[in-house]
A and B are shown apart, each in its own frame.
Chain A
Amino acid sequence: MTDAPAIEVDHLTKKFGDFTAVEDVSLTIERGEIFGFLGPNGAGKSTTIRSILDLIRPTLGSCRVLGLDSRKDAVEIRRHLGFLPSDLALYPNLTGKQTIQYMANLRGGVDWARVDAIAERFGADLDKKVGDYSSGNRQKVGLILAFMHNPQVVILDEPITGLDPLVQLEFHTLMREHVTAGNTVFLSSHTLSEVERVADRVGFIRRGHLIAVERMSDLHEKSLRRVSLEFPAPVAATAFDGIEGVHDAEVEGSTVTARYEGSMGPLLKVATDLGVLSLNTASVDLDEIFLEFYRDETVAADAGGAGNAAEGDAA
């Protein structure tokens, strides 16, 4: 158990009737990393997570947490696991404090000093009934529940919903501390900036298919940046074609926009020769990176998704 990866998803397929929510997804999350799980709404993020947690059962394939089987060893897994469901619901008639007491009792006790410390960091008000909470305050209670027993693996489904920016920052710090101590965080999100800021690796899921898993640093390295250049006079439409690392150059009079990867040197050389006046660069966001690099896989997933729907209709 000690050496096994934090989470393994092994050829997971989950169908609901004719609808395939997740198809043949495999991924391995090592210990000590924050893994970002990214994808649009309805891509299959929550289905994957709920399979790992044994809330739903795979149609095919299996999941393991810390080397333990998600179905057979569900109870043992939960001893070492913290979970924050998406769109969190709690018992409206209990106060925040009572909610934590209840879950702590069911766990057989927790370190209350730790609970108090986390509550303090988030500025959580635990004395009111959950039913009277704002969504942000409810989310804070959910985060306390996920982290209070110092779990080796934490699975968070859309954790920052409703949190204000300061609390988000504090939460990201807490998450990083937790991972630095040797634990693992699985962070599902459709908020690109969040994943970009905190994740070590990121997986991109679309229409139930895992498109790619990349190290964040690699992604940044090969990530595209956008550049826009101003020249004193109109330039030839083909002036920027075929330059190393430059994609999709568009010329409009004396303005040129293009995207590039790697070094800017070859591009600058040509630009300088043409007497460039000014230059602006910006990063392309994660979403676009994926669409760019994994265009084929994305198209295949989209086609596959449509194919499934058609089969469903036929059946």
Chain B
Amino acid sequence: MLRSLYLKSIRDRWVGVTVAVVSLFLVVWMGLWAYSGVDEADTYLQQMPDEMIAMLGITRDSGTTGLMFSTMFSFLAPFVFAGLALSIGASAIAGEERDGTMNVLTSAPRSRSRLLWSKSAGLLTLMVLGAVATWVSYEAAAQLSGADASGLDLGAATVQTTVVSLFYGAVALAIGAGTGNRSTASGIATGFVVVSFLAAGLLPLFAGWEDAAKIFPWYYIDAGQPMINGVDWAPMAVLAGISIALALLGWWGLLRRDLRAGGGHVSIMERLKRNERLGAILTRLQGKGSTRGIITKSLSDQRSITVIAGGSFFLFLVAMGPMFKALGDTLGDVVDSMPDALLAMIGYADYTTATGWYHGEAMSIYGPLMISIVVIGAGAALVREEKLRTIGVLLSVPMSRAAIALRKLAAMVILAMVVGVILFVGITLGSAVANLGMDVGNIAAAAVMLTALGLMIGASAYFFGGLMGKHSAAIWGGTGVAVAGWAINTFVGVNPDLEWFAKISPFYWLLHGYPLDNGIDWTALAVLMTEAVVLAALGLWAYRRRDLRG
């Protein structure tokens, strides 16, 4: 192993890991504080049916603290950890190639194998340190908020989350090392994470399909109920073994291929297009890179991501209709036996109705996720010209800064609307296919609300980019608003006494009025749109005034 490279890999990423750890700590602390204020929670917990308790992976004695950690370990913590691992893994070798720094790195008399192993060791160290730190921070948060977490094995749940995350990291590392293409590596690994998450969550709901979920790594995050039973070591060992095998596969590829020298970056789309049969379809789908104007060029820059995110979202929405039909009976019984107040508290929509089903799945999780992916990229596109240093050439044309900035903003608005339209058509079609008889007007209202959320999040990215002139500030600012907003609404929103606090979250305004049942909540729409307009205006103002980079 190369000590200096190993240490540099850690130095490059420790800030990201620290931010993740601190964010998780803050969310847990805030959540425990909000949950502990719900007095009736323990009563509800006692009334909860056994199936539900088992699904949450806690015991009746663990109380609100257990509920909180269950929500944490089933969604946010694994997504953050998997995201970290795959981003570090994808960049390990392929990142150096994309940046062109591989040329310098390989001029040192050290073998490719040692480069890879040093980078892998860096990934492993960072993830283990991050895991230990979060575990400690969870316990600290429990102490600070006076919650009783003694009956919960938080360490075991963290171990399982970390092993699964490292698996996704190994997938990204192997693809990155084997192909030298960072975006292919992170793209495929991210897709795998999302598919696993959906499959592990949805497949067990269908009779006869329970075992199919077990082929997806995500399933093992809470397999064996680690918070009660401790670590389930057998599947962990298997996952670790496969992770090592993947790394070896990446190594094998790395030793046999040409290294890239930066610049000549080939996107996933380009690679797929080289396949004759796929190429013809994809070229048509992607269209010609438009050079007509700034708006069309910006739209075509975002086309791949929009087609992938929007396309999968659309299929998901349509499939949700028949899925609801198939589920109706199984889930209905469970939900029927639960008190309504409890359902509201743990953020579950009423899954016995089609609108509740779409609200809980499409509007609360998948929709915001998909629109965020699209609008954050589009909101950051203006400042990306500075990162790519193309702004010098772009601003040599006779257009004002404001004119260029407004066109980039317009592209973001159009893309948010595209995702809104996808939601509308997808749910309408899903409802029609399964004959659910949902109100088309309300579906349109939901689409408008989701679009407004997208505009607010996209405008946040635009604001941070305009203000700070750094692409990463725009991306992380937008992501931060989305994640913090989601966390605040999910965890603080459970406590009716803290509704004032939940209102700072855009998700509160998106979801609180249940647009699929009640149509547009005009106040909520006005709040989201005002926030979006103010953020965009401030971003534009700052952009016009400051020095440009690059």
Residue positions of A touching B, CB distance < 8 A:
50, 53-57, 74-79, 81-83, 85, 87-94, 98-99, 101-103, 105-108, 131-132, 142, 145-146
Chain B 272-293 near chain A by CB (<8 Å), digits 1 or 0: 0000000000000000010111
Residues on the A chain within 8 Å of B292, using CB: 105
Residues on the A chain within 8 Å of B546, using CB: 57
What's the Cα separation between A111 and B398 when bound, in Å?
Answer: 16
- The answer to whether B263 has its CB under 8 Å from any CB of chain A is yes
Interface of B is mostly: loop
Residues on the A chain within 8 Å of B396, using CB: 53, 78, 81-83, 103, 145-146
Task: Please name 9 pairs of A and B residues whose Cβ atoms are closer than 8 Å in the assembled complex, sorted by A.
Answer: A74-B401, A79-B398, A93-B267, A94-B291, A101-B291, A103-B394, A105-B292, A107-B397, A131-B263
Identify the stretch in B22-30, B383-391, B491-499 within 8 Å (CB) of chain A at 4 or more residues: B383-391
Report the minimal beta-carbon distance from A94 to chain B, rounded to whole angstroms: 6
Name, among B292, B293, B545, B547, the residue most crowded by chain A CB atoms within 10 Å (CB to CB). B547
Report the minimal beta-carbon distance from A272 to chain B, rounded to whole angstroms: 57
Asked if A98 and B395 sit within 8 Å, CB to CB, the answer is no
Report the minimal beta-carbon distance from A24 to chain B, rounded to whole angstroms: 19
Residues on the A chain within 8 Å of B393, using CB: 83, 85, 88-90, 103, 142, 145
Q: Which residue of A lies closest to B390 (CB)?
A: A89
Asked if A102 and B297 sit within 8 Å, CB to CB, the answer is yes
Asked if A93 and B293 sit within 8 Å, CB to CB, the answer is no
- The answer to whether B146 has its CB under 8 Å from any CB of chain A is no
Residues on the A chain within 8 Å of B403, using CB: 75
Residues on the A chain within 8 Å of B400, using CB: 74-75
User: Which residues 356-400 in B have Cβ within 8 Å of A in the complex?
Assistant: 388-400
Residues on the A chain within 8 Å of B293, using CB: 105-106
Residues on the B chain within 8 Å of A142, using CB: 393
- The answer to whether B264 has its CB under 8 Å from any CB of chain A is yes
Asked if B548 and A55 sit within 8 Å, CB to CB, the answer is yes
What's the Cα separation between A75 and B403 when bound, in Å?
Answer: 10
Report the minimal beta-carbon distance from B43 to chain A, rounded to whole angstroms: 59
Residues on the A chain within 8 Å of B392, using CB: 50, 53, 55, 83, 85, 89
What's the Cα separation between A82 and B395 when bound, in Å?
Answer: 11
What's the Cα separation between A208 and B390 when bound, in Å?
Answer: 25
Asked if B391 and A55 sit within 8 Å, CB to CB, the answer is yes
- B interface, how many residues as a size bin? 20 to 34
Q: Which residue of B lies closest to A95 (CB)?
A: B289
What's the Cα separation between A247 and B414 when bound, in Å?
Answer: 72
- The answer to whether B151 has its CB under 8 Å from any CB of chain A is no
Asked if B265 and A107 sit within 8 Å, CB to CB, the answer is no
What's the Cα separation between A88 and B392 when bound, in Å?
Answer: 9
- The answer to whether B339 has its CB under 8 Å from any CB of chain A is no
Name, among B267, B301, B399, B545, the residue most crowded by chain A CB atoms within 10 Å (CB to CB). B399
Asked if B395 and A78 sit within 8 Å, CB to CB, the answer is yes
Residues on the B chain within 8 Å of A89, using CB: 388-390, 392-393, 550
Residues on the B chain within 8 Å of A99, using CB: 291
Q: Report if A102-B291 is in contact (Cβ < 8 Å); known contacts: A78-B396, A78-B397, A107-B398.
A: yes
User: Which residues 535-550 in B have Cβ within 8 Å of A in the complex?
Assistant: 545-548, 550
Q: Which residue of B lies closest to A145 (CB)?
A: B393
Name, among B301, B390, B393, B401, the residue most crowded by chain A CB atoms within 10 Å (CB to CB). B393
Report the minimal beta-carbon distance from B516 to chain A, rounded to whole angstroms: 39
What's the Cα separation between A54 and B404 when bound, in Å?
Answer: 14
Name, among A75, A83, A145, the residue most crowded by chain B CB atoms within 10 Å (CB to CB). A75
Report the minimal beta-carbon distance from B182 to chain A, rounded to whole angstroms: 14
Q: From A76, A85, A106, A131, give the contact of B397 (CB < 8 A).
A: A106
Q: Which residue of A lies closest to B404 (CB)?
A: A106
What's the Cα separation between A79 and B294 when bound, in Å?
Answer: 17
What's the Cα separation between A102 and B265 when bound, in Å?
Answer: 21
Q: Which residue of A lies closest to B297 (CB)?
A: A102
What's the Cα separation between A107 and B265 when bound, in Å?
Answer: 28
Chain B 4-26 near chain A by CB (<8 Å), digits 1 or 0: 00000000000000000000000
Residues on the B chain within 8 Å of A50, using CB: 392
Report the minimal beta-carbon distance from B390 to chain A, rounded to whole angstroms: 5
9 closest A-B pairs (Cβ-Cβ)? A85-B392, A102-B291, A89-B389, A56-B547, A83-B396, A79-B398, A106-B397, A78-B398, A101-B291
Extra contacts besides A57-B546, A81-B396, A89-B393 (15): CB < 8 Å: A53-B392, A55-B392, A56-B547, A75-B399, A77-B398, A91-B388, A91-B390, A99-B291, A103-B396, A103-B397, A105-B291, A105-B292, A106-B399, A108-B398, A145-B393
Asked if A57 and B398 sit within 8 Å, CB to CB, the answer is no
Residues on the A chain within 8 Å of B263, using CB: 92, 131-132
What's the Cα separation between A102 and B401 when bound, in Å?
Answer: 17
